[in-house]
Amino acid sequence: MRALLLILALTAYAQEEAPGGRDQARSMVITKFGIVATSQTLASQAGAKVLEQGGNAIDAAIAANATLGVVEPAMNGMGGDLFAIIYEAKTGKLYGLNSSGWTPAALTLDGLKQRGITEANKLGVHRVTVPGAVAGWQALHDKFGTMGFDKLLAPAIYYAENGYPLTETIRDEAAAAAKRLAVQPGFKETYMPGGKFPEVGEIFRNPALAESLKLVAAKGRDGFYKGATAQKVLAFLKEQGNFMTATDMTEFQPEWVDPISTTYRGWTIYEIPPNTQGIAALEMLNIMEKFPMAEYGHNSGKALHVMIEAKKMAYSDMLKYVGDPRSSKVPTDWLKSKGLGEDRAKMLDAAHANCDPVPAELTERTAQGNDTIYMSAIDKDGNIVSLIQSNYSSFGTGMVAPGTGFALHNRGGLFTLKPNEPNTIGPRKRPIHTIIPAFMEKGQTRIGFGIMGGWNQAQAHAQFVANVVDYGMNIQMALEAARFTKGTFSGCDVMIESRVPAGVRSELTAMGHKIALRGAYSGSMGRGQAVERNGAGVNFAGSDPRADGEAIPEGPPVFGVKR
């Protein structure tokens, strides 16, 4: 009888403590030490171990990103580009890094036309621009790093050489892409041992990638842009018809840039300036700020309608004006201005969806590439790295130079071949970029965040900010919350996760939105990570359940590790 009463008492206590359950699936990771959040646990752990060995957030980010290129090869790797925002705690300064590669100097619009290439979707091997990732690692290391590449790349080299078991989401998405890319030169030899893509839990090895990583570990960027790896890449590209030369690779340098920003209800939100789509996130927020989003309620019909319509307008402006600012004038200040946001807000019909927001000449591009990783890192001192890296499409072009072990990206596919536009393809030019890291702060609270997924990213950033600012969510809840995404630039189509209530979806349909329903935690909405530092010096992190990863904290200095 006494045992029964005890059980009943404990049951009543549990019900009293949590009558409504919780509103998020995962808890935040909270610690006074550092944290690394990525989309694959082995990569997060690699970064956390670097922190335990005395490295800072930048060291950890390089180690985690290099490991991601091994364990999540469809999304990123040495053959892709990289962007980052870094918050330096000791100075309070924010730095932006644009390490997106350029086209070969010999590539011209006329030269492509002479080869019969008149549309972007026919670029083929000319989608390959100089990969910027390794140069990005070097730039980050030179400015902020404290540990050598031999240590930072050791986890990636280990997993490439000895193998790792494939995780669920990564395997399924990569296997789907493999069916399409099996015909690409070098793909099957690298990624389909035995003629098929490995199964979940199967050990996958990539010894050629291990050798490429070892060259970077020994020689830094010269181990990639010069020497054996560069020779293999250049010989392969020449054989496929690409114009790239050794000079195109050796002369490429990343660019340190000042992040651009806007304010949103007392918070300051930062993005990387053009040639990225980050400007669209800022314009969206400027439009949204003119509406009482909190009063509307989270994921209500009114709130979603405003965000979807703001997305259409911001993206139409971004596509019209954004290109490589080194070769065309981009009106960045105007695009992120409160004045433009106010003008656009006045054009937003609160009752009806606008199905034709984009000039016809800009409807050629749709969301073809959503294969990217976003990761974030924070250390015990409060340094924050918000980093994104990508192949663009799954495995990029799918082309692998013999003996290198990594796929070459297809970022150049985002150029237009229409003459005299900001994003027209040309020599030594960078295309408009979908990948964007982000950062936000208010008072002593700072958040490094990002959500990958092609053209999904700017609209997902705006939704994350609204979740934190308008709806008071913590960073884990803000990542988990149901999202929408619109990958096209005209029409009223929009994808929405099934967790958005049916009544809300009906309300949107009545306004003219054409809803494509997706799963509860759909990969179409991208996958994000976030880290946060509060004024008391406590670190927080969140990791999107739509991915295979997690946020992993640095352990305490009690096991003899060097600090």
Is 90 strand, coil or helix? coil
Return the biggest CA–CA distance within the chain. Answer: 91
The answer to whether 416 and 99 have CB atoms below 8 angstroms apart is: no
Selection from 206, 190, 168, 198 nearest residue 39 by Cα: 168
CA pair distance 56, 50, nearest whole angstrom: 8
List of E strands, 414-461: 438-442, 445-451
Helix (H) or strand (E) holding 10: helix 2-17
CA pair distance 555, 266, nearest whole angstrom: 35
Selection from 186, 222, 220, 221 nearest residue 206 by Cα: 186
Q: Would you say the C-alpha torsion 546, 33, 51, 554 has a positive or negative sign? A: negative
Q: How many CB atoms lie within 10 A of CB 160?
A: 29
DSSP state of 78: T
Label residue 265 exposed, middle or buried (CB < 10 Å: 0-12, 13-18, 19+): middle
List of E strands, 444-549: 445-451, 484-485, 493-497, 514-518, 528-533, 539-543
List of E strands, 137-237: 164-165, 203-204
Confirm whether 11 is a catalytic residue: no
Characterize the bridge pairing of strands 539-543 and 550-553: unpaired
Bridge partners for 374 per DSSP: 388
Q: How many CB atoms lie within 10 A of CB 300?
A: 18
Angstrom distances, CA of residue 333 to CA of 35, 226, 263, 273? 34, 38, 13, 10
Selection from 172, 119, 190, 153 nearest residue 397 by Cα: 190
CA pair distance 337, 255, nearest whole angstrom: 24
CA pair distance 465, 270, nearest whole angstrom: 11
How many residues are there in the chain? Answer: 563
The answer to whether 539 and 482 have CB atoms below 8 angstroms apart is: no
HSE (CB half, 13 Å, CA atoms) of 561?
15
- Nearest-5° angle of CA 470, CA 85, CA 48? 95
Q: How many CB atoms lie within 10 A of CB 88?
A: 18
> Catalytic residue among 167, 190, 372, 416, which?
372
Q: Report, as residue numbers or ranges, the catalytic residues.
A: 372
